[in-house]
A and B are shown apart, each in its own frame.
Chain A
Amino acid sequence: MLQEWVILLVSLCYLGTLFAIAYYADWKSDKGKSIISNPYIYTLSIAVYCTAWTFYGSVGRAAETGIGFMPIYLGPTLMAALWWFLLRKIIRIAKVYRITSIADFLASRYGKSSLIGGLVTIIAVVGIMPYISLQLKAVSTSYSVMLHYPDIAMIEQHRTSIWNDNAFSVAMIMAAFSILFGTRHIDATERHEGMVAAIAFESVVKLLAFSAVGVFITFVMFDGPIDLFDWVTRYPETMRLTELEVLPGGYTNWLTLTFLSMMAIMFLPRQFQVLVVENVNEEHVRKAAWLFPLYLLAINIFVLPIAFAGMLLFPEGLVAPDIFVLALPITENQNLLALFVYLGGLSAATGMVIVATIALSTMLCNDLVMPVLLRLLAIQQVDLSRVLLFIRRCSIVFVLLLGYLYYRLIGESYTLVTMGLVSFAAAAQFGPAILFGVFWKDASRRAAISGLSAGFLIWFYTLLLPSFARSGWIPLSFLEHGPFGIELLRPYQLFGLDMFDPITHAVFWSMLANVMLLVGVSLIDRQSTMDRIQASLFVDVYRHSGDTHLWKGKAMITELKNIVARFIGPQQAERAFVSYFRSHGIDFTKDMQADAELVEFAERLLSGAIGAASARVMVSSVVEGEEISPEGVMKIIDETSQVLEYSHQLEEKSIELEAATRELQEANRRLKELDRLKDEFVSTVSHELRTPLTSVRAFSEILHDNANMGQEERQKYLDIMVKETERLTRLINEVLDLAKIESGRADWFMENIDLTEVLREAVASTSQLFREKSIAVVEMVPTWPITVFADRDRIMQVAINLLSNAAKFSPSDEGTVMIRLYFKDREVRVEVADNGPGIHPDEQKKIFEKFKQITDLRNGKPKGTGLGLAICRRIIEYHNGNIWVESAPGQGSKFVFSLPD
Chain B
Amino acid sequence: MSPVRRKIQRLLVLFVFGCLALNFPLLALFSKSIYLFGFPLLYFYLFALWILFIICIAFVTEMKKLPRTSFPPLFTRKSK
Contacts and interface: CB of A to CB of B under 8 A. Distances in A.
A258 B15 contact: no
Nearest to A92: B71
B28 to A, nearest CB: 7
Interface in A552-585: 572, 575-576, 579
A134 interface: no
B54 A255 contact: no
Interface in A97-133: 98
A189 interface: yes
A187 interface: yes
A290 B58 contact: yes
A244 B23 CA distance: 11
A251 interface: yes
Contact of A294 (B27, B42, B54, B69): B54
Prevailing SS type, chain A contact patch: helix
Contacts of A715: none
Interface string B15-53: 100110011100110011101011110110011001101
B76 interface: yes
A807 interface: no
A85 B11 contact: yes
A226 B80 contact: no
B71 A95 contact: yes
B73 interface: yes
Contact of B15 (A82, A92, A225, A229): A82
A242 B68 CA distance: 45
Most buried by A among B22, B39, B60: B22
A777 interface: no
A283 B71 CA distance: 10
Contacts of A187: 77
Contact of B50 (A77, A287, A289): A77
A293 B50 CA distance: 9
A545 B35 contact: no
Given A81-B15, A289-B61, A290-B58, A32 B77 contact: yes
Contact of A255 (B18, B23, B76): B23
B58 A258 contact: no
Interface in A19-61: 29-32
A879 interface: no
B1 interface: no
A286 B70 contact: no
A289 B56 CA distance: 11
A82 B38 CA distance: 34
Given A30-B77, A77-B53, A258 B22 contact: yes
Q: Please indicate which of the listed interface residues A293, A545, A546 has the most CB atoms of chain B within 10 Å of its own CB.
A: A293
Contact of B38 (A66, A188, A226, A304): A226
Interface string A578-618: 01000000000000000000000100110010000000000
Interface in A263-322: 281-283, 286-287, 289-290, 293-294, 297, 301, 304
Contact of A82 (B11, B32, B77, B80): B11
Nearest to B39: A229
A575 B79 CA distance: 8
A813 B3 CA distance: 90
A189 B24 contact: no
B50 A297 contact: yes
Interface residues of B, number: 48
Interface string A228-255: 0110110000010011110000010011
A84 interface: yes
A624 B68 CA distance: 40
Given A84-B11, A255-B23, A289-B57, A243 B74 contact: no
Which of A74, A81, A576, A601: most chain B Cβ within 10 A? A81
Contacts of A503: none
Contacts of A226: 37-39
Given A92-B71, A290-B57, A605-B74, A74 B42 contact: no
B7 A84 contact: yes
B40 A32 contact: no
Contact of A245 (B8, B31, B80): B31
A576 B77 CA distance: 9
B42 A242 contact: yes
A32 B43 contact: no
A293 B53 contact: yes
A377 B76 CA distance: 32
Contacts of A410: none
A289 B7 CA distance: 14
A865 B50 CA distance: 96
Contacts of B19: 78, 258
Interface in A613-644: none
A188 B75 contact: yes
A7 interface: no
B42 to A, nearest CB: 6
A80 interface: yes
A70 interface: yes
A605 B73 CA distance: 11
Contact of B76 (A189, A244, A545, A601): A189
A546 B42 CA distance: 50
B24 A254 contact: yes
B71 A70 contact: no
A78 B22 contact: yes
Contacts of B57: 80-81, 289-290, 293
Given A281-B70, A604-B74, A579 B24 contact: no
A96 interface: yes
Interface of B: 7-8, 11-12, 14-15, 18-19, 22-24, 27-28, 31-33, 35, 37-40, 42-43, 46-47, 50-51, 53-58, 60-62, 68-71, 73-80
8 contacts: A66-B42, A67-B46, A81-B56, A82-B11, A244-B27, A293-B57, A294-B54, A572-B75
Top 4 closest pairs, chain A to chain B, by CB? A32-B78, A226-B38, A251-B24, A242-B40
